Chains A and B, each alone.
Chain A
């Protein structure tokens, strides 16, 4: 099973959607690649990923996250990498936002749209968050 994911949004909820599916797929013997673009780059930004915003007006969910003992985004990122999930940061967005490869977690690769399309063309499913 090959899964290609586009992460294009940078909120806390977006991060959970992306990394929960990614780790679950990788733990189920899936080959997973995530293309981070636009605000999605926040999800693998060394500092940014630890301070992802809740959607406006949903801040009260913070307590629920704690109560449900949901892993932190940092933990999910580490877990994803350990399970072999491949991270691709979008070069064009990095240029626009003035970001360097070093701003992202170790192991992140940089590529363009064709890099993603190349891996998505033979994926069994492509998900966009």
Chain B
């Protein structure tokens, strides 16, 4: 069971009140704390997960018992509205102009077999799935570039690094699938 910080009883209320009350209750919670929302509005089954997704909360679970719906939502640490930043991205060609300069690190987030088959000189291979565990290997200063085959995984790596508080990351796209530069 979840460690519930606050319980909101919105039973009997219909749309849009469960969402409105949930928003207000959530304002008092700190990131990581869990809100329990008890409702009977069946629209909430779809609405509250969508609300959580849109506002940057983590939707945990819905438990339904005798027509009573209990939602568990963990407060996210998403940036306040208006602060969402665009993903910094440069092209392969733009990267080649800075490649090799002091303070430049290229992280190739493809799988090891893809990396071995050919990668940019000096690139460090940290597959996307290992980013969170290998944060220590990624410099906090200088310019860090992330690359993959076509830009998708590099984008997710960028987001993971941004979520970890790194602000020195740039994505290189499209990536190795369309690479004209030197290869090792």
Contact = CB atoms under 8 A, between A and B. Distances in A.
Most chain B beta-carbon contacts within 10 A, residue among A24, A68, A79: A24
Contacts of B13: 69, 71
A28 B15 contact: no
B14 A27 contact: no
Most chain B beta-carbon contacts within 10 A, residue among A20, A29, A70: A29
Contact of B54 (A29, A69, A70, A83): A29
A23 interface: yes
Given A27-B19, A28-B54, A29-B54, A69 B81 contact: no
B68 interface: no
A27 B81 contact: no
Interface residues on A, range: 10 to 19
A29 B47 CA distance: 14
Interface in A53-87: 68-71, 79, 83
**Main DSSP-derived SS at the B contact region:** helix
Interface string B108-152: 000000000000000000000000000000000000000000000
Interface in B7-38: 12-17, 19-20, 22-23
Interface in B54-81: 54-55, 81
A15 B14 CA distance: 16
Interface in A19-41: 20, 23-24, 27-29
A23 B14 contact: no
14 contacts: A1-B54, A24-B15, A24-B16, A27-B19, A27-B20, A28-B54, A28-B55, A29-B54, A69-B14, A70-B14, A71-B13, A79-B20, A83-B20, A83-B23
8 tightest Cβ-Cβ pairs between the two chains A and B: A27-B23, A24-B16, A27-B20, A29-B81, A23-B16, A68-B14, A28-B54, A27-B19
